[in-house]
Amino acid sequence: MILLHSEWYSYHFPELVKLVTDNYTYARVAQYIGNRKLLTEDRLDGLEKILLDSEKTRAIYDASRSSMGNTHFVYIYIAKLIIIVIFTE
């Protein structure tokens, strides 16, 4: 299930898979971020609580600003994300 999740989310934010290599943490980070375009500096504290790493948090934020991922894919992804939300809670 998590592998499918990372495949789906990588269409939207392909750089994330290189920054977060643990599958469970990846699922939690992707759930928290959602649409990478909406990740703002105000939300970095919450992301850092998941990662426990301020440098990685900043690297993810920076990557989200310049990502080559498809922003339209996120709308299709949201339906699939519901399954992941249930899994990670």
pLDDT of residue 2: 47
User: Which domains are delineated in the chain?
Assistant: 2-88 (1.10.287.4070)
pLDDT of residue 5: 54
Give the pLDDT of the chain (89 residues) as one tens digit per residue: 445 556 677 878 889 999 999 988 998 998 899 888 889 999 999 999 999 999 999 999 999 998 887 766 555 556 666 666 676 66
DSSP state of 72: T
How many beta carbons lie within 10 A of that of residue 12, not counting itself? 23
pLDDT of residue 1: 46
